[in-house]
Amino acid sequence: GAGVSQSPRYKVAKRGQDVALRCDPISGHVSLFWYQQALGQGPEFLTYFQNEAQLDKSGLPSDRFFAERPEGSVSTLKIQRTQQEDSAVYLCASSLLVGGHEQFFGPGTRLTVL
């Protein structure tokens, strides 16, 4: 496709459930980023991939959060044993270059944990 796509767009989970959020970046983009956006706030950095290598995961809030990009294209953000404070919009962005100053964002997945 022409842009970054994410699925599902909306996810409702019961507390304690595991969830998996998918990101399809723009074809050929080297860099991929995940962000968490709480209501009324700006996005907060979670993790960064350069091709299949996860070079920075300093923003992941706990060890319940795990991301992968095994073939250097599609990425999955997994959250285990979801908690209410995990409720947020999860945004994926990709960039053509290493580091990627000009990032193209997907529409996000809105996660609600009950």
Partner 1 sequence: GQQLNQSPQSMFIQEGEDVSMNCTSSSIFNTWLWYKQDPGEGPVLLIALYKAGELTSNGRLTAQFGITRKDSFLNISASIPSDVGIYFCAGIYNNNDMRFGAGTRLTVKP
| Residues near partner 1 (CB under 8 A) | 4, 31, 33, 40-45, 48, 55-56, 58, 91, 93, 98-108
3-state secondary structure (DSSP) of residue 85: helix
3-state secondary structure (DSSP) of residue 86: helix
- Kindly tell me which of 6 and 82 has the beta carbon lying closer to partner 1: 6
- Kindly tell me which of 72 and 107 has the beta carbon lying closer to partner 1: 107
The structure tokens listed for 75 are 């990425």
Least Å distance, CB 6 to partner 1, is 8
Residue 97 burial (CB count, 10 A): 11
- Kindly tell me which of 56 and 68 has the beta carbon lying closer to partner 1: 56
The structure tokens listed for 44 are 């907060």
